[in-house]
Amino acid sequence: MESSTKGTKTEQTGSRIINLRHLLSYLTQVKDGRKRRGVRYSLEIILVLFVLAKLCGQNKIYGIADWAQQQSEYLIGALGLKYKRLPHHSTYRRVLSDEVEGDDLERLMGEYLVQLPRHGQDMVIAIDGKTVRGTITAEDPFGLHLLAAYLPGEGIVLMQMVVEKDKENEIVVAPKLLECLDLRKKVVIGDAMHTQRQLSIQIVAAEGHFVWIVKDNQANTRKAIELLFAPEQPRPGFGCPPMDFRSAKTTEKQAGRLEERTITVSSLLNDYLNWPHLGQVFKLERRFTCLATGVVESEVQYGLTSLTAQEADPKRLLKIVRSEWGIENGLHYRRDVTFDEDQTRMTSKTMGRIMAIINNLVIGLINSLGYHNHAHARRVFNACPSKALSLICGL
């Protein structure tokens, strides 16, 4: 029951027209691997119901199918479905495991998320990997591992790629992932594993910038940066040599503790350190004070960036470095805790990947609406599923 009006695809449901300019227009493009004979539910309807149930708080396939059945009267009418029953949980599992191409769905969902309204924040791309622990079995102790490119300021995943951990690691996959992205005027940041010279060259060649944390996998580089920021002891008759140090500090009080972050940056190693396109090095100090007990903990990290002092002062660089933690707190933590991803058993890696893609999608949708508490947002949608369906279909 589809018609075309001035190039805009619509679905006629009685007197109601569903506008397909929204997420549904991307879901309809996902390739369906099934043969047409015997197909009762179109792939886009299965995907719509799956995403809708996720928005409304369901995490596991049994719960998704049960929730849809409980809302069947409303959903059948709103979507104009021919059949008066909604898919069984085995239908979701079989179709999403066997008939959906992960690369295809990943590409389309990335295209959808990237066109959502922007909040005008620094365009930082954080890269980090996550193992979908629900796919780990005795036969496959590695499970499914995905490397994601995430916009911390927007809360959306641009793309993620599979890392075959029995054959490769994130260092091998990261260049392939970044090749697929527009890095112009973007700053790429990642953990110490990605602090690699060749990856730095690739990013700058693509007109982007990098910010890396330096640890013992680049031992000589780390030692040189650490030595630069070590307290200088004046020698008799000489005094201290001139230094080019600039710093910025932030202080925040949250969750019963005071957190102080201080970054000190310098360009003194630009002509000395053997690192391509080096603009600055930095020392990051974090100090945590428990307000209840007074116990103090601290940590120090070192790093480097292609951003020059003119392109990024200490305040901006501290903000960029902090955004790397956003992929852990804003994406991985939510998938593990709010969406219960690691505790959801998957019948296959394919199903695990599809589930991860849809979890990323729902997190991006909720972030685009300005919610910070995703559990609260899902309760809001569950209380009024029509709001969630409108978000998907543009009703």
Check whether residue 201 and residue 316 sit in a common domain: yes
Report yes or no on 263 lying in a domain.
yes
Mean pLDDT within 29-40? 87
Check whether residue 294 and residue 381 sit in a common domain: no
- Domain ends where: 323, 342, 373? 323
Check whether residue 284 and residue 254 sit in a common domain: yes
Check whether residue 201 and residue 303 sit in a common domain: yes
Structural tokens at position 363? 């997190």
Structural tokens at position 163? 């890392």
Check whether residue 36 and residue 93 sit in a common domain: yes
The three-state secondary structure class of 100 is: coil
Cα 173 to Cα 202: distance, rounded to the nearest angstrom: 13
Report yes or no on 162 lying in a domain.
no
Report yes or no on 6 lying in a domain.
yes
Q: What pLDDT band is residue 227 in, cutting at 50, 70 and 90?
A: very high
Mean pLDDT within 48-72? 96
pLDDT, residue 373, reads 94
pLDDT, residue 29, reads 94
pLDDT, residue 166, reads 76
Instruction: Name which of 64-78, 100-114, 230-244 the model is least confident about.
Output: 230-244
Q: What is the mean pLDDT of the chain?
A: 88
Q: What pLDDT band is residue 12 in, cutting at 50, 70 and 90?
A: very low
CB contact set of 17 (below 8 Å; sequence gap of 6+): 10, 11
Q: What is the dihedral of CA 302, 307, 313, 318, to 10 degrees?
A: -40
- Domain ends where: 297, 323, 349? 323
Total count of domains within the chain: 2
Report yes or no on 159 lying in a domain.
no
Per the structure, the complete domain to which residue 301 belongs is given by 192-230+243-323
pLDDT, residue 13, reads 36
Check whether residue 281 and residue 382 sit in a common domain: no
Check whether residue 50 and residue 88 sit in a common domain: yes
Check whether residue 280 and residue 377 sit in a common domain: no
Check whether residue 198 and residue 301 sit in a common domain: yes
Mean pLDDT within 163-183? 92
pLDDT in tens, 80-103: 988 888 999 999 999 999 999 999
- Domain ends where: 294, 323, 352? 323
Check whether residue 297 and residue 358 sit in a common domain: no
CB contact set of 158 (below 8 Å; sequence gap of 6+): 110, 113, 114, 125, 149, 150, 151, 181
Asked if the model's pLDDT at residue 233 lies above 70, the reply is no
Report yes or no on 149 lying in a domain.
no
Q: What pLDDT band is residue 344 in, cutting at 50, 70 and 90?
A: confident
Cα 228 to Cα 120: distance, rounded to the nearest angstrom: 35
Asked if the model's pLDDT at residue 20 lies above 70, the reply is no
Report yes or no on 7 lying in a domain.
yes
Check whether residue 217 and residue 319 sit in a common domain: yes
Report yes or no on 274 lying in a domain.
yes
Place of tokens 């695809």: 9
Structural tokens at position 126? 């954080």
Mean pLDDT within 294-313? 95
Report yes or no on 8 lying in a domain.
yes
Alpha carbon distance, N-terminus to C-terminus of the chain:
16
> For residue 343, what is the enclosing H or E element?
none
Asked if the model's pLDDT at residue 139 lies above 90, the reply is no
Cβ atoms 134, 141 nearer than 8 A: no
Asked if the model's pLDDT at residue 239 lies above 80, the reply is no
Asked if the model's pLDDT at residue 14 lies above 70, the reply is no
Q: What pLDDT band is residue 119 in, cutting at 50, 70 and 90?
A: low
Check whether residue 106 and residue 205 sit in a common domain: no
Q: What pLDDT band is residue 6 in, cutting at 50, 70 and 90?
A: very low
Cα 31 to Cα 63: distance, rounded to the nearest angstrom: 25
